[in-house]
Structure 1
Amino acid sequence: MTESEPTPVSFGRRISDLAAERPEAVALIFEPRPGGGRARVFSWADVERRSLQIAGLMHRRGVGQDAMVIVGLPNSPEHVFASLAAWKLGAGVLPLRWDLPEWERNRLIEVVKPRLVCGDWNEIPAARLSRVQLAASTEAPAEPLEDRIADPARAIASSGSTGLPKIIVKPGPGQGVPGAESGPFERDPEKAARSELVLSPLYHTNGFFIAHAALFGGDRVVLMERFDAAQAVDLIERHRIQNVTMVPTMLQRIARLPDLETRDFSSIEFVLQGGATCPGWLVRRWIELVGPESFVMSYGSTEGIGLAMISGAEWLDHPGSVGKAQDSEVRILDESGRSVSIGVIGEIFMRPTTDDAPGFEYVGAAPPKRSDEGFTSVGDMGWLDEGGYLFIADRRQDMIISGGANIFPAEVEAALSEHPEVFDCVVIGLPDEDWGHRVHALIHPRDADRPPSNTELRAHCRARLAAFKVPKAFEIVEHLPRTEAGKLNRSGLVTERSDETP
């Protein structure tokens, strides 16, 4: 007798099943920012009840099969419950930043045409559920619903470093097989639930996907209201966290904590890095903290065109790499669409190799580049070595051409980040009559009263970079306007400074 294929379960039904199996077990812990009050703890029965209550509110506002719901809330239990409620009704979910500028918010709403917006935005052309209304629904009926499958179930807004928003829709049903591999973590239904720390904003693909994948897998989610390096380490110790996903900015801020050597990371099984390339010194620091097999780096995109991964142990033999392609193929092409030689920088194109790989659609933006063979690029530059290991240079749109030479900001930023007095930095290209563009570094110092001097920073860079890559100027700033996901609007930084005299 052949084994039958496992039966997929809808996102909404999965929560109902877990609530029936382990009603009193802890599913979600919400940790407010430091000084923001006590943690809020929810069992699986609580999560089911709250999502059903909010689903009732949504249904009365016209949400049903194939509708789209925008969740424009800060990290909170209500964000999680609203997303689950929409899925229970067969609707798709688009998480958005709650603090979007009005022009961007209105443009996205016009493009998406949601049936409902969960958030505190006023004067919008859609039905709305405010945070107060969501919080006040605790006494509402929690009536069981007919099982429905959303399709599409997920969409994510992305603006990259350009500041121009687009919607990435992931076609495909909102269902999965419990216990199947999900991302880098295999979830065995026979084993005890893991603890997953979610410290990215839920409007970002890292936070949203990791949180809901963990819940679908039956794991316990510890959700931070807002990333704070010291609080994140406290939570890892307190909750015996096993899995956590971070972008390099988060990794760096934790690595700079003064008492890190005395902290307990023994519970950690996986620290997954994504979102951007990681400087070599930072990789080595985290390998020291959690071990080479527990630190995993990845390269991918919200579009899901392909994935590369590498463990810390493998990285030590291939420093700087983001690994080999996983269930996908990679090509490095020149501007004419021809493959480049090994070690030569070109544009990265990827293609999934699995038949069931989901596609994607852009809403409100032109489709990305595709090769004749079906490979897709999201604009990143890089190269392959002889062993097929992928290395990332930078995004094509961020590359600086100065005096005819190509300079990748990520390389310069990695060198600057090694300086012990640099808390954060970003490198941009400013228009220049002589050079075309000049390399300009913005420095957020560790100590604002004693920032490193231009001479010190220039010497530091010259020891690590070719002379033409060393910034022509260093600008000390009080802070860099990163989003909670660690993103920067580079084009905006350039515009602000493009008329300045060098």
Structure 2
Amino acid sequence: MSPEPSYAHGTSDTALLGDTIGANLARAVERFPDREALVDLPSGRRWTYAEFGAAVDRLARGLMAAGAGKGDRVGIWAVNCPEWVLTQYATARIGAVMVNINPAYRAHELAYVLNQAGVSLLIASLAHKTSDYRDLVDRVRADCPGLRAVHHIGDPSWDELLAGTVPDGELKAREAELSCDDPINIQYTSGTTGFPKGATLTHHNILNNGFFVGEMLGYTERDRICLPVPFYHCFGMVMGNLAATSHGACVVIPAPSFEPAASLRAVEQERCTSLYGVPTMFIAELNLPDFASYDLSSLRTGIMAGSPCPVEVMKRVVAEMHMAEVSICYGMTETSPVSTQTRRDDDLERRTGTVGRVMPHVEVKVVDPVTGTTLPRGEAGELRTRGYSVMLGYWDEPERTAEAIDPGRWMHTGDLAVMREDGYVRIVGRIKDMIIRGGENVYPREIEEFLHSHPKIADVQVVGVPDERYGEEILACVIPRDPADPPTLDDITAYCRERLAHYKVPRRIEVLDTFPMTVSGKVRKVELRRAYGG
């Protein structure tokens, strides 16, 4: 009997939502007016659903009065704060396209995005850490002729925006023009090579993805979600905010940007039932000296995503953080983002060894990256995905869109994956991260998983670096558990020798304090290769 192909379709008895985001929020406001929708711990502010709906309405009218039309691009360049969330729903309510801008961007990156997306109105923070947003905006204004208005959160210009209004009939007429298939959001991919690309997403894309992620987690109006992940990324605004509001749940903002102690404090104070993070965030929380002093007993679930989740970390999250139903999600900005997810009743092996199975109403397949032929289950190839979640395309870049989405509307993820016999998917690396050592294909993920069990290693990233003899050699960049007693290359070689094939054993080691990261918490392997590849 021939093996089953690496193809899966997420059948579901729950239908896709046909709403716009504004209509979906209105339904939640009507059903849960007195339940909390949003809590901001840094400022102490709280909104019930009725209050949140009214605040969104006020900002929507202000944006219309400021000239924001259907399809106009409104930029949001801010750290996590309630105004970010209000902007997300207010722009959707009036059919403007919200452009997410990474808070870590410097002047030239900001100018690129403002011009590439054609942003006419910008909402920005005033300052955070070393970033003076007002100064950075002032520096690029002359180079961005399309930018006609800037409103800084916490500044009189923000109050002016809120003071503007339009008659009720005008807002209703605008809402009547909207379709769930309208573009509503542009998110820029990280741009590790060249300039970032603007993934253009619709109401239908992101509302349904947030809703079904929440369904997989069993969300109801009783859930309270601690969100230390950035809103500018799909993880925060879709898997967090839209998963919450589509179920009447509450979003809790612990801090403007990730702080491990603030996250655990928020869980304890607000009795959160769900906590999100990338693996490095969970590692930082678990490694706090006073971790055991926090009462995390209210937690039952959460999401670990953004990069591969080490087995040892997942075991501690389940055992010590009470997150028995924690979920692994896999996806990319271009797919709204989640394509596969573990289920609440999955055993530890599936939760640690895979990124789950296909989401409802989505298709995935694993193909030969050269020929595009679907491979048998159990063989490694490129993961591709299709369905409601695939973006419209990259904003104003049809050629780059055609490179990513083929004529069959399959999104080419660039990730190497294996679909198991049971339909669960393992990510074995990025096509571009795969190391080819002496003709052997080496997947860094496998080595990283193994080294996470080393008693002296807190975190590890494996990259390929140039080598005259083998083409590429394997470098392990490690963060030690005890900086005073880091592992040596001999330690690692001896540890690997009995368990890994000889060609997978790292030949070099670098001991580091931290890894270079994107703001969303992904390790920038390209920088590790650049820094230590000599």
TM range, smaller chain: 0.7 to 0.9
Match of 1:92 among 65, 82, 97: 97
When the two chains are superposed, the root-mean-square deviation of aligned CA atoms in Å is 3.3
Match of 1:214 among 244, 252, 255: 244
Q: Which has the higher helix share?
A: 2
Change (3 A) 1:8 1:380: closer
- Other structure's SS at 2:518 match: coil
In structure 1, distance between residues paired with 2:424 and 2:485: 41
Measure how far apart 1:259 and its partner are.
5.0
- Of residues 291-300 and 393-402 in structure 1, the stretch that sits farther from structure 2 once superposed is 291-300
Residue type of the alignment partner of 1:114:
V
Change (3 A) 1:440 1:19: same
Contact 2:37 2:249 in 1 (8 A): yes
Change (3 A) 1:64 1:420: farther
Q: Within the alignment, does 1:479 sit opposite 2:514 as a pair?
A: yes
- Other structure's SS at 2:522 match: coil
Change (3 A) 1:244 1:486: same
Contact 2:206 2:389 in 1 (8 A): no
Measure how far apart 1:304 and its partner are.
2.2
Q: Within the alignment, does 1:194 sit opposite 2:223 as a pair?
A: yes
In structure 1, distance between residues paired with 2:218 and 2:482: 46
Measure how far apart 1:461 and its partner are.
4.0
Q: Within the alignment, does 1:424 sit opposite 2:435 as a pair?
A: no
Measure how far apart 1:442 and its partner are.
2.3
Contact 1:292 1:311 in 2 (8 A): no
In structure 2, distance between residues paired with 1:267 and 1:372: 47
Q: Who is 2:328 aligned against?
A: 297
TM-score, normalised via structure 1 length = 0.84
Contact 1:54 1:134 in 2 (8 A): no
Q: Who is 1:28 aligned against?
A: 38
Structure with bigger RCO (C-alpha 8 Å, 6+ apart): 2
Residue type of the alignment partner of 1:158:
T
Measure how far apart 1:395 and its partner are.
0.7
Residue type of the alignment partner of 2:364:
V
Q: Within the alignment, does 1:396 sit opposite 2:431 as a pair?
A: yes
Change (3 A) 1:458 1:312: farther
Change (3 A) 1:175 1:204: closer
Residue type of the alignment partner of 1:31:
L
Q: Who is 2:128 aligned against?
A: none
- Structure 2 unmatched runs, 5+: 1-14, 125-132
Measure how far apart 1:81 and its partner are.
1.9
Q: Within the alignment, does 1:203 sit opposite 2:232 as a pair?
A: yes
Residue type of the alignment partner of 2:285:
I
Change (3 A) 1:104 1:88: same
Q: Who is 2:188 aligned against?
A: 157
Q: Within the alignment, does 1:59 sit opposite 2:64 as a pair?
A: yes
Match of 2:487 among 428, 452, 456: 452
Residue type of the alignment partner of 1:202:
F
In structure 2, distance between residues paired with 1:169 and 1:207: 17
In structure 2, distance between residues paired with 1:97 and 1:6: 30
- Of residues 398-407 and 324-333 in structure 1, the stretch that sits farther from structure 2 once superposed is 324-333
CA deviations 1:378-397 (Å, max 9, x no partner) are 10101122222211101101
Residue type of the alignment partner of 1:343:
G
Q: Structure 2 matches for 1:4-19, cutoff 5 A?
A: 10-13=20-23, 15=25
Measure how far apart 1:182 and its partner are.
3.4
Q: Percent identity?
A: 25
Change (3 A) 1:289 1:196: same
Change (3 A) 1:283 1:176: closer
- Structure 1 unmatched runs, 5+: 33-37
- Other structure's SS at 1:397 match: coil
TM-score, normalised via structure 2 length = 0.80
Measure how far apart 1:15 and its partner are.
4.8
Measure how far apart 1:234 and its partner are.
2.1
CA deviations 1:260-299 (Å, max 9, x no partner) are 5564433223222222221222222233246685122222
Q: Who is 2:364 aligned against?
A: 330
Measure how far apart 1:450 and its partner are.
4.2
CA deviations 1:117-144 (Å, max 9, x no partner) are 2123222321322232455459736665
Q: Who is 1:35 aligned against?
A: none
Match of 1:170 among 198, 201, 207: 201
Residue type of the alignment partner of 2:227:
V
Q: Report the number of matched residues.
A: 484
- Other structure's SS at 2:357 match: strand
Q: Within the alignment, does 1:492 sit opposite 2:497 as a pair?
A: no
Q: Who is 2:302 aligned against?
A: 271
Measure how far apart 1:165 and its partner are.
1.0
In structure 1, distance between residues paired with 2:492 and 2:260: 25
Q: Structure 2 matches for 1:242-253, cutoff 5 A?
A: 242-253=273-284
